[in-house]
Structure 1
Amino acid sequence: MTTEIKVVQDPVNQALSALSSSAQTLKTPFSKEISRNNQMDLVEKIGDINKTYASLIQQYQALLLNNIEVTNETVEAIAKMDENIATFMIKSR
């Protein structure tokens, strides 16, 4: 029975790259302005909701990109640690 833990980075890196591309192209489907001359309450409320939604999308995008970066750093750290352990085990023989 083997106790080896293999770190396979390629699938993780590919998935993170795809997720990063998707996150960077995330856009709100709503127009920036609904109507310039129309001052109806409903239009103003929809405009406010649109601004809030756009802000939330931007915050989500920033959080998602940050999580991707942290995950990449973690995968790299695990791979480096795996390398160090392997080197130590070879030297210990």
Structure 2
Amino acid sequence: MHHGRVPAGIGRALLQVGETMPRRAPALTAPLLVLHGTDDRLIPIEGSRRLVECVGSADVQLKEYPGLYHEVFNEPERNQVLDDVVAWLTERL
């Protein structure tokens, strides 16, 4: 888990994605599950909320995990996150 500063190149790339996402997101029409910890200090949760509003998919779900950080699969609650992913996939098989 990274707790330091974000390198300039990565920060610049994230800003570019954030700027172009609203324009490009409607082209995403596949089912989409977005997982986000509410205490993520790298990527604000508002970006994920905005993404699910912009995508072209009719099947999109945002799972917010209160108190979790950026790497939701590396948190003590990882089993709940994994269960949510398995349930989401099972519903679509």
- Scaled by the length of structure 2, what TM-score is found? 0.25
Which structure dedicates a bigger proportion of its chain to strand?
Answer: 2
Higher gyration radius (CA): 1
Report which of the two has the higher share of helix: 1
**TM-score normalised over the length of structure 1:** 0.25
